[in-house]
């Protein structure tokens, strides 16, 4: 008799659910669910238990109850899986990170080579570049700030390394997150509460905002929430979602977050948002599907509702600043760095311009200063300066200078040396006058590397351009 009663109860329950499912609003007895949107087949999906699932096409008014043809999900009291739709395929991923299942042809098939990590419950799960990521979470008595990614080729999870570990968010679970372009935005969450000795239970709530560039793997702190009531209730079934380029989060209100302009818009409908969960936005139909629980929290019955997003959200009732105050570190430091780089560039250009303008150049056997020819040099001085220019990159020994000026002259070496000194001193006086600098700055003097007794001379490239 007990077996017959059991069969009768199961059949009655299925019939009740089936009748409830024939309306646009789906009524269920169990609140342990997950909602999905299959964009390829244009279906709404509701997973509730391990024997059947519920499906309704975008255009239909009726829900269908469908038994699984095959289901590899291990049976549990709840339904600990997150839903993802990637490139036309549907996935259910263990909420603690690890196992991944593909939902297709009314079946759920395991595809990973991993295991139940049980290490990232309450993590921020998202899709970037058609890959599944988990950030943070809680497990094994510790909060996390790690970023993990599933590799569809190896069927394994991998740890993503940050480029700067000195500036990363505090470990946390149940944070709010959004993806825009290459950036992950992260808000609030719960972290370790060092004011108590307890290692279990709800941690200390955070009110900070961060941004992670998923290309560079660099975090940036954006500031703290001005209105902490935005995150007054953080739960596993409260989803953040995106409507086109707008970010939304449901709590007692709907909050529309604008990170670029530092604004948050408030939407309010009495009790509606407090009771909703598992929200998914349909970008094709501008609809939202969500669960709504009873006002009597002791009742586990829930409804699955689909409606136009504008009807669901209502109208904006007020607008506030998102971040409290002006983030000095985040905005001013880059401006100071930029200003410093500009000043450094302009100073360098100015010095280069000044140096170039106050240089002597040699073109077509003529010397120029500021594009004007230098005409006050003697033949010997012109020849000597030409000799220096011909050896612009090479130091010249002083005896080589004497040999150059001798030109097969039979005069004694001492006389030639005096002649060299006379011509060189006269040349320095005239060039120093033209450049308005000290004579000793015109040339670079040094000792020969092999024989320190030998003195060498070379044009100073600061005042001569070859």
> Does 135 score more than 80 pLDDT?
yes
Q: How many domains does the chain have?
A: 2
Q: Does residue 7 lie in a domain region?
A: no
> Predicted confidence band at 201 (pLDDT cuts at 50, 70, 90)?
low
193 and 269 part of one domain: yes
182 and 261 part of one domain: yes
Q: Does residue 102 lie in a domain region?
A: yes
Q: Which residue has the higher pLDDT, 91 or 424?
A: 91
- What CATH number has the domain bearing residue 372? 1.10.10.10
- What CATH number has the domain bearing residue 91? 2.120.10.80
Rounded to whole angstroms, the Cα distance separating 207 from 229 reads 10
Q: Which residue has the higher pLDDT, 94 or 77?
A: 94
> Does 31 score more than 60 pLDDT?
yes
Asked whether the beta carbons of 231 and 178 are under 8 A apart, the reply is no
Among candidate residues 327, 342, 371, the one where a domain is terminated: 327
pLDDT at residue 273, rounded to an integer: 75
> Does 117 score more than 50 pLDDT?
yes
Q: Which residue has the higher pLDDT, 329 or 466?
A: 466
> Does 232 score more than 80 pLDDT?
no
Summarize the confidence of residues 264-287 as an average pLDDT. 85
pLDDT tens for each residue of 155-171: 999 999 999 999 999 99
Rounded to whole angstroms, the Cα distance separating 18 from 209 reads 44
159 and 73 part of one domain: yes
Alpha-helix runs per DSSP H in 163-221: none
Q: Which residue has the higher pLDDT, 281 or 240?
A: 281
Nearest residue to 203 via CA among 242, 181, 173: 173
Q: Which residue has the higher pLDDT, 181 or 354?
A: 181
In the DSSP assignment, the letter for residue 285 is: T
Rounded to whole angstroms, the Cα distance separating 59 from 387 reads 91
pLDDT at residue 151, rounded to an integer: 96
> Predicted confidence band at 62 (pLDDT cuts at 50, 70, 90)?
very high
- Secondary structure string (H, E, C) spanning 102-168: EEECCEEEECCCCCCCCCCECCEEEEECCEEEEEEEEECCEEEEEEEEEECCCCEEEEECCCCCCCC
pLDDT at residue 344, rounded to an integer: 74
The rounded percent of the chain whose pLDDT value lies above 70 is 85
pLDDT tens for each residue of 369-395: 888 898 889 988 988 889 998 898 889
233 and 376 part of one domain: no
pLDDT at residue 1, rounded to an integer: 45
Tokens 């739960």 found at = 235
Range of the domain at 421: 358-465
Tokens, residue 254? 């709907």
At 368 the three-state DSSP class reads: strand
Return the sign of the alpha-carbon dihedral for residues 65, 274, 226, 207.
Answer: negative
Q: Does residue 179 lie in a domain region?
A: yes
Q: Does residue 91 lie in a domain region?
A: yes
Summarize the confidence of residues 7-29 as an average pLDDT. 54
62 and 203 part of one domain: yes
Summarize the confidence of residues 387-405 as an average pLDDT. 88
381's CB contacts (< 8 A; 6+ apart) are 423, 426, 427, 430
Tokens 């408030």 found at = 266
365 and 318 part of one domain: no
154 and 230 part of one domain: yes
> Does 271 score more than 80 pLDDT?
no
152 and 248 part of one domain: yes
433 and 312 part of one domain: no
pLDDT at residue 435, rounded to an integer: 87
Rounded to whole angstroms, the Cα distance separating 156 from 277 reads 30
Rounded to whole angstroms, the Cα distance separating 375 from 365 reads 12
Summarize the confidence of residues 287-294 as an average pLDDT. 89
At 296 the three-state DSSP class reads: coil
Rounded to whole angstroms, the Cα distance separating 356 from 401 reads 27
> Does 276 score more than 50 pLDDT?
yes
Q: What is the mean pLDDT of the chain?
A: 85
> Does 152 score more than 80 pLDDT?
yes
Asked whether the beta carbons of 64 and 54 are under 8 A apart, the reply is yes
Asked whether the beta carbons of 207 and 188 are under 8 A apart, the reply is yes
Q: Residue 447's beta-bridge partner residues?
A: 455
In the DSSP assignment, the letter for residue 466 is: -
pLDDT at residue 124, rounded to an integer: 94
> Does 190 score more than 50 pLDDT?
yes
> Predicted confidence band at 203 (pLDDT cuts at 50, 70, 90)?
confident
> Does 239 score more than 60 pLDDT?
yes
377 and 310 part of one domain: no
> Does 269 score more than 70 pLDDT?
yes
The rounded percent of the chain whose pLDDT value lies above 90 is 48
Q: Does residue 427 lie in a domain region?
A: yes
Rounded to whole angstroms, the Cα distance separating 357 from 458 reads 21
> Does 24 score more than 90 pLDDT?
no
For strands 107-110 and 70-71, give the pairing: parallel
319 and 401 part of one domain: no
> Does 140 score more than 60 pLDDT?
yes
pLDDT at residue 375, rounded to an integer: 87
């Amino acid at each position: 008799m007990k077996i017959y009663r059991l069969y009768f109860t199961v059949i009655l329950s299925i019939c009740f659910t089936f009748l409830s499912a024939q309306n646009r609003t789906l009524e269920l007895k169990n609140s342990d669910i997950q909602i999905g949107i299959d964009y390829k087949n244009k279906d709404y999906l509701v997973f509730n238990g391990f024997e059947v699932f519920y499906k309704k096409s975008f255009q239909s008014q009726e829900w269908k109850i469908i038994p699984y043809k095959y289901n590899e999900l291990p049976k549990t009291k709840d339904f600990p899986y997150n839903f993802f739709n990637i490139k036309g395929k549907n996935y259910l991923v263990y909420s603690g990170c690890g196992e991944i299942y593909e939902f297709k042809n009314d079946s759920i098939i395991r595809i990973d080579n991993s295991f139940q990590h049980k290490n990232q419950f309450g993590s921020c799960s998202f899709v970037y570049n058609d890959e599944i990521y988990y950030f943070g979470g809680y497990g094994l008595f510790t909060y996390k700030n790690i970023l993990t990614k599933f590799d569809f080729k190896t069927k394994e999870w991998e740890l993503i390394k940050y480029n700067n570990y000195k500036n990363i968010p505090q470990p946390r679970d149940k944070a709010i997150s959004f993806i825009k372009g290459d950036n992950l935005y992260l808000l609030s969450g719960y972290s370790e509460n060092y004011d108590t000795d307890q290692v279990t239970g709800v941690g200390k709530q955070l009110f900070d905002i961060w941004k992670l560039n998923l290309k560079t793997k660099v975090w940036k702190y954006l500031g703290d929430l001005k209105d902490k009531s935005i995150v007054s209730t953080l739960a596993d079934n409260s989803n953040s979602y995106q409507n086109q380029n707008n970010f939304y989060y449901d709590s007692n209100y709907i909050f529309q977050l604008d990170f670029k302009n530092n604004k948050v818009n408030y939407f309010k409908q009495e009790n509606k948002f407090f009771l909703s969960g598992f929200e998914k936005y349909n970008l094709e139909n501008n609809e939202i599907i969500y669960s709504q629980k009873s006002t009597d929290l002791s009742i586990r019955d829930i409804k699955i509702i689909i409606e136009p997003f504008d009807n669901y959200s209502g109208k904006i009732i007020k607008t506030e600043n998102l971040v409290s105050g002006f983030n000095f570190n985040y905005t001013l430091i880059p401006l100071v760095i930029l200003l410093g780089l500009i000043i450094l560039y302009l100073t360098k250009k100015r010095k280069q311009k000044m140096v170039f303008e106050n240089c002597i150049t040699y073109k077509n056997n003529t010397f120029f200063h500021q594009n004007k020819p230098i005409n006050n040099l003697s033949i010997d001085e012109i020849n000597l300066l030409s000799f220096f220019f011909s050896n612009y990159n090479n130091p010249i020994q002083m005896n080589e200078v004497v040999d150059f000026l001798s030109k097969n002259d039979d005069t004694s070496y001492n006389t030639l040396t005096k002649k060299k000194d006379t011509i060189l001193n006269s040349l320095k006086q005239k060039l120093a006058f033209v450049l308005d600098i000290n004579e000793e700055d015109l040339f670079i003097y040094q000792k020969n590397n092999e024989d320190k007794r030998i003195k060498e001379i070379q044009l100073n490239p600061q005042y001569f351009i070859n």
